[in-house]
Structure 1
């Protein structure tokens, strides 16, 4: 029996890609998993079915993580069925514009910044009471290598995720005495995700050529790092950022 058995993990944006891979892996390691989604009910239920077929426990819950009432209702439902959230994996990706700064309106840049931090703020506020009460918790936020390594047209996402990373560092400092670790996972380009579908074959090949390990990350590669941060073995890492990019960028 896994030592993680009984822990409850909330994975936001878990109906596909990195979120789905993370939900499946955490369940395989003995956690009960909340598969949060916004629009893709069928895909989220498929993740739950996969977990249950493998002997795990999961439930799918729709909630816009930018909205406090929706998030509070989700946490209340989880609490009634299981208990408070022990592990938060905040993976949900809000929409953003892909364009040069000179073509961008403030609503596009400022709106993405607001959505990114609002979602992190709302969902973190909701899960912290249970974590602080028990003196144990894991907060993991999904960032992006674009917050360090700019790429054309990605200023909105890169700037917003850089803000998220700093937000996480401040939480790590504040919540450490309460037994809560806070870390960020920053993937480079990841195959089999919505973002990767926007790249043509030539762009993908350039990214592969720039990666010492010779391929793009897969969702499961990122999930492995998230799962380490989420687990009992991570007793002394907080305020850190893990780059999962196959050596494409080294820092």
Structure 2
């Protein structure tokens, strides 16, 4: 990844932070996007630069076109170009059984998830087309493929994201750009701390590899899809769940 520039949205914590660490260790310059937790993002930048890597934190709500334009411009201004996008920023969603949910609660997640992917992709693709090179990774979820109650809004929105990624792959492949989707199963992060330990143990017992994922497990797969090792793979949706979906 020497000389490559990667923008990681939602990069201050969890999967995004581990992705930034791995890419930086492999030689990439990383731009860590965050929306509110500047302390986490700047702390990670300090950690990476102390190790000799190039890193920059940029605040932006990835659902906002003007803020995303600023984010991409700041990336290009700092490092000269942009080679890869990891679309990882988490969008909040309502957890309710379907009959207890109203349309606004359902559509909010659909709109946020797909608008973020839409706005980010429109902002980075012209730069990638100009360079005839690009790697885009959209982070989805196995809940898009294997429904669980009460995650209907989350799973449906992520299923839309997976299809969106395939369309981007189809249209922009001729420009040397790949687009792939990484779909984690249950990952031990801050966002899953609400899950009871008994549930996590049960999921680990059901998983062929005998545990739930760490953020690093997911980040390593994302790193593969941002590298030239995946140069002839596009439009693919890979499950990263320790074999649970077998």
TM-score (norm 1): 0.96
Alignment of 1:113-128 (within 5 A): 113-128=110-125
- Find the counterpart in structure 2 of residue 103 from structure 1: 100
- Secondary structure at the aligned position of 1:150 is classed as coil
**Unmatched tracts of structure 1, length 5 or more:** none
- Find the counterpart in structure 2 of residue 60 from structure 1: 57
Structure 1 contact 24–50 (Cα < 8 Å) conserved:
no
Cα distance, 1:84 vs. partner?
2.5
Structure 1 contact 9–85 (Cα < 8 Å) conserved:
yes
- Find the counterpart in structure 1 of residue 15 from structure 2: 18
- Find the counterpart in structure 1 of residue 144 from structure 2: 147
Distance in 2 (alpha carbons) for counterparts of 1:14 and 1:85: 16
Cα distance, 1:194 vs. partner?
2.7
Question: Does structure 1 residue 239 correspond to structure 2 residue 235?
Answer: yes
Question: Does structure 1 residue 217 correspond to structure 2 residue 213?
Answer: yes
Distance in 2 (alpha carbons) for counterparts of 1:201 and 1:219: 17
2:192 to 191, 196, 200: 196
- Find the counterpart in structure 2 of residue 170 from structure 1: 167
Q: CA deviation digits over 1:163-187, x for unaligned, max 9?
A: 0000000111111101000000000
The count of corresponding residues between Structure 1 and Structure 2 is: 246
TM-score (norm 2): 0.98
Q: CA deviation digits over 1:67-92, x for unaligned, max 9?
A: 00001111112222212321000000
Cα distance, 1:220 vs. partner?
0.4
Could you tell which deviates more after superposition, 46-55 or 178-187? 46-55
Distance in 1 (alpha carbons) for counterparts of 2:75 and 2:170: 28
1:229 to 211, 215, 225: 225
- Secondary structure at the aligned position of 1:198 is classed as coil
Cα distance, 1:195 vs. partner?
2.7
2:154 to 151, 154, 157: 157
1:41 to 32, 35, 38: 38
Q: CA deviation digits over 1:69-127, x for unaligned, max 9?
A: 00111111222221232100000011100110111010111111000000000011100
Cα distance, 1:201 vs. partner?
1.2
**Root-mean-square deviation over aligned CA pairs:** 0.8
Q: CA deviation digits over 1:192-220, x for unaligned, max 9?
A: x1332010111111111111111110000
Question: Does structure 1 residue 74 correspond to structure 2 residue 68?
Answer: no
- Once superposed, which parts of structure 1, at least 4 consecutive aligned residues long, lie more than 3 Å away? none
**Unmatched tracts of structure 2, length 5 or more:** none
- Secondary structure at the aligned position of 2:193 is classed as helix
Q: CA deviation digits over 1:211-230, x for unaligned, max 9?
A: 11111100001011000000
